[in-house]
Amino acid sequence: MPARDTPAASDRAARVRMTRQRRRDTAPELALRRELHRRGRRFRVDLAPLPGLRRRADLVFPRQRLAVYVDGCFWHCCPQHATRPKANTDWWSSKLAANVDRDRDTDRRLARAGWRAVRVWEHEPVESAVLRVLAALADFPAA
């Protein structure tokens, strides 16, 4: 994929907002981790499930070969809550489309390697997300 030069922020507030975005340990991710841990599930955090693949999963259950991603509505183009910036629209459209393409490619690579991926939206209720992860783990005893 060709490198894209990041445009200058449209204003100071936008620059500050973007620099404060967390890559890991977001509130939805922490809530999911807390509830899974409370239910006796043990996992690794912020780990690349496949060697040589720099894409990191938010939660990884290595023995069960399950990778869990908590996707942000903006960054991963949620069908319900996605927004499009008004400034630098061409750049942002390309950037966000590339994120979605990379997500699908990651899912395909994991499946080819015998892994399963669970993708949870940041707005999804914790209980719903936990139930989807537990369903994917259903064939394995609590670790």
pLDDT value at residue 137: 96
Reported pTM = 0.82
pLDDT value at residue 1: 43
Sign of CA dihedral 28, 47, 82, 10: positive
Rg (CA), the chain: 16
Structural contact between residues 106 and 117, judged by C-beta atoms closer than 8 angstroms: yes
> How many residues would you count in the chain?
143
Measure Cα distances from 42 to 28, 38, 66, 132, 143 in Å: 17, 9, 12, 16, 6
Q: Which domains does the chain have, with CATH numbers?
A: 38-136 (3.40.960.10)
pLDDT value at residue 141: 60
pLDDT value at residue 128: 98
Mean per-residue pLDDT, 101-122: 97
Least confident of 5-19, 53-67, 122-136: 5-19
Exposed / middle / buried, residue 27 (Cβ in 10 Å: 0-12, 13-18, 19+): exposed
Between residues 35 and 80, the one the model is more confident about = 35
